Structure 1
Amino acid sequence: MTRAAVLAGVGGYVPPRVVTNEELSRRLDTSDAWIRTRTGIAARHVVDPGTSTGDLAVEAGGRALKNAGADGADLVIVATTTPDRPCPATAPTVAARLGLTDVPAYDVAAVCSGFVYALQAGAAAVTSGFAERALVVGAESFSTILDPTDRTTSVIFGDGAGAVLLRAGERTEPGAVLDVHLGSDGSMADLITVRGGGAEERSRGGTPRPEDRYFRMDGKSVFFAAVRRMAESSRTVLARTGWEVADVDRLVGHQANTRIIQAVAEQLGLPPERAVLNIERVGNTSAASIPLALADGLADGTLVAGDRVLLTAFGGGATWGSATLVWPDLPIG
């Protein structure tokens, strides 16, 4: 039999503080109707002072392990754009806090595509025999890098974490990661960026510009690039899997914007009701959005055993990626 990485458990976590559209409209030139119409978002969760991305990752990772009935993992990967520190990576600390002190652990930085990138790395490690169980986490405290005066970004993003545990199994099992497609185009680096804080800024010298500390995005250009690349990547991974578009029961897209997910479904020829959505209550949680959507889809019954699932995302870099699997029978945690 062909060895494969099999989804054994999922876990999600969002911080308790909820920020509604009404709250944002009291300090920004916006309204609940404006935000809902353009993004599909009604609320988002944000971290309180003193809570970090690592804290969120530990919560989600712990839940994934518990829900899988596993006592640990021998590989930890954390996908994030908002690490606890520039150095070191967040993953080793997350692993240690979960009681995993002798395992390899590293971060993946692919912004909103981060979870799909990390999923590929974790699946490859398990399939190759490097690891028996890989904990793959997407975690973000995006509120810490947003310009509070910028309504184009402040209304979109939220904080949270989601995680999956992959175990060694067989390709014929439900839950096996069947295929992953990834891509990038660095010529679009400025579409989604935080310009300050890195070697590029420091090597120039001089006084850093305060505005470069914040996340910036060219929303219109990102919309068209995201729809195009997510649809192309989806078609590629479906062909490699041997599925037709009509075979897909559930589309779990990066929860960037309801209109983007609907446009991707339309491009593929999928009925919009096959899309799994949780963006209305959590916003865009970047690398955490797909695993959070998986956890929510399991909890509310949207994802059921036997569903043929397509994951797809687009993020800064620019990066994009898609993956396929048949949803397994998982316990609801």
Structure 2
Amino acid sequence: MTYSRILGTGSYLPDTILTNAMLAERVETSDEWIVSRTGIHARHIAADDQKTSDLAYQASVKALESAGIAATDLDMIIVATTTPDMVFPSAACLLQEKLNVPGIPAFDVQAVCAGFMFALATADSYIKSGMAKQVLVVGAEVMSRVLDWDDRRTCVLFGDGAGAMVVGKSDAPGIMHVKLAADGRYQGILNTPAQIAGGKIQGIPYLHMDGPAVFKFAVKALSDIAEKTLAEAGVEQSAVDWLVPHQANLRIIESTAKHLGLSMDKVIVTLPQQGNTSAASIPLAFDHAVRDGKIQRDQTVLLEGIGGGFAWGAVLLRY
């Protein structure tokens, strides 16, 4: 039987760090207010000349090095992002050009903060079907560019960054089970509703979020999909070595872990110094945990994320 397995990981964070104290100088807020409600202390912000594909490239180079393969060995590139460089071509095609690997399929997946789950599931399907052997999967975002810096409810939450995985064909189990979901009826509580028409921006080009509504939905949706993923895979909760959740809000992460009966010692948390990096948050957290020696080979890891749409998903894997 053919499986897909993570061969290598990489990540990248821009050099500029925006702390809560620095934010308090430009908007009515405080370090105590932000930390008590979100768990976030700081976030990284892309330079003016950095675009999503630039961040993706830096993370990809590290992932390829970790996997021990060259970019020319790839069969496909998938980028999960909601903040691409431009309307088109895709960030994946721009990343492909930077990696100098013309010809192979390259495309974006848009499911906001759940995007990496959808991209990883897509790579898994291509590999298991025999249509690809080695796929580069990237989550990359410059969320700072869709924030209203006068809105303290949202501007304190997000940061920029990229995370990448090289996923390859394997005879040993790697990705064990995937479960995805979406419900467009909730589009109004988390969105960026602008569009380009006639050379002008129509609608509001800033991220809008109904925080309490998102929190309530996210806790239930993430807990439910995690339980269903484990049940359908026939894996007990006690067998999970690590939970790598979307890094959105520490209270959501703690609530989900509690619902699953997992100690926070088994949860990878990078939120305090990175903020919510949307589709990049899970691969960023995973790579940092691997490089810190926490996540090790042959351990069982559960990934889960939720984003605007709503779209949400979970991936159970053996690293």
AA paired with 2:91? T
- Tell me if structure 2 keeps the 8 A contact 1:161–1:292: yes
TM norm structure 2: 0.97
| Alpha-carbon distance in structure 1 between the residues aligned to 2:94 and 2:160 | 19
- Tell me if structure 2 keeps the 8 A contact 1:36–1:42: yes
Q: Which residue of 2 aligns with 1:149?
A: 150
1:131 pairs with 2:125: no
| Alpha-carbon distance in structure 1 between the residues aligned to 2:281 and 2:294 | 16
AA paired with 1:47? A
| Alpha-carbon distance in structure 1 between the residues aligned to 2:200 and 2:205 | 15
- Tell me if structure 2 keeps the 8 A contact 1:22–1:32: yes
- Tell me if structure 2 keeps the 8 A contact 1:90–1:106: yes
AA paired with 1:208? Q
Pairwise mapping of residues 72-83 of structure 1 onto structure 2 (< 5 A)? 72=71, 73-83=74-84
- The 10-residue stretch of structure 1 (110-119 or 303-312) with the greater mean CA deviation from structure 2: 303-312
1:316 pairs with 2:317: no
| Alpha-carbon distance in structure 1 between the residues aligned to 2:13 and 2:276 | 12
Structure 2 segments unaligned to the other structure (5+ residues): none
Q: Which residue of 2 aligns with 1:4?
A: 3
Q: Offset at 1:207?
A: 7.9
How many residues align? The count is 317
Q: Per-residue displacement from partner, 1:177-201 (whole Å, max 9, x unpaired)?
A: 1111000000001121111115xxx
AA paired with 2:144? S
The counterpart of 1:197, out of the listed 195, 198, 222, is 195
Q: Which residue of 1 aligns with 2:95?
A: 94
- Tell me if structure 2 keeps the 8 A contact 1:75–1:104: yes
Q: Which residue of 1 aligns with 2:202?
A: 208
Give secondary structure in 1 for the equivalent of 2:195. coil
Q: Offset at 1:241?
A: 1.5
Q: Which residue of 2 aligns with 1:331?
A: none
Pairwise mapping of residues 140-289 of structure 1 onto structure 2 (< 5 A)? 140-172=141-173, 176-197=174-195, 202=197, 208-209=202-203, 212-289=204-281
- The 10-residue stretch of structure 1 (188-197 or 288-297) with the greater mean CA deviation from structure 2: 188-197
Give secondary structure in 1 for the equivalent of 2:114. helix
| Alpha-carbon distance in structure 2 between the residues aligned to 1:100 and 1:178 | 29
Q: Offset at 1:95?
A: 1.1
| Alpha-carbon distance in structure 1 between the residues aligned to 2:259 and 2:116 | 23
Q: Which residue of 1 aligns with 2:288?
A: 296
TM norm structure 1: 0.93
Q: Which residue of 1 aligns with 2:14?
A: 15
Give secondary structure in 1 for the equivalent of 2:202. coil
AA paired with 1:85? M
Structure 1 segments unaligned to the other structure (5+ residues): 328-333
Q: Per-residue displacement from partner, 1:86-118 (whole Å, max 9, x unpaired)?
A: 122110110121121110000000000000000
AA paired with 1:136? V
Pairwise mapping of residues 44-55 of structure 1 onto structure 2 (< 5 A)? 44-55=43-54
Identity %: 41
| Alpha-carbon distance in structure 2 between the residues aligned to 1:136 and 1:295 | 13
- Tell me if structure 1 keeps the 8 A contact 2:194–2:201: no
**CA pair 235-22 structure 1, distance change in 2 beyond 3 A:** same
Cα RMSD of the aligned pairs, angstroms, is 1.4
- Tell me if structure 2 keeps the 8 A contact 1:171–1:178: no
| Alpha-carbon distance in structure 2 between the residues aligned to 1:208 and 1:221 | 26
Q: Per-residue displacement from partner, 1:31-84 (whole Å, max 9, x unpaired)?
A: 111111111111100011111011001111111011111112110000001000
Q: Per-residue displacement from partner, 1:259-306 (whole Å, max 9, x unpaired)?
A: 100000111121122110001111100000000001110111221223
| Alpha-carbon distance in structure 2 between the residues aligned to 1:60 and 1:100 | 16
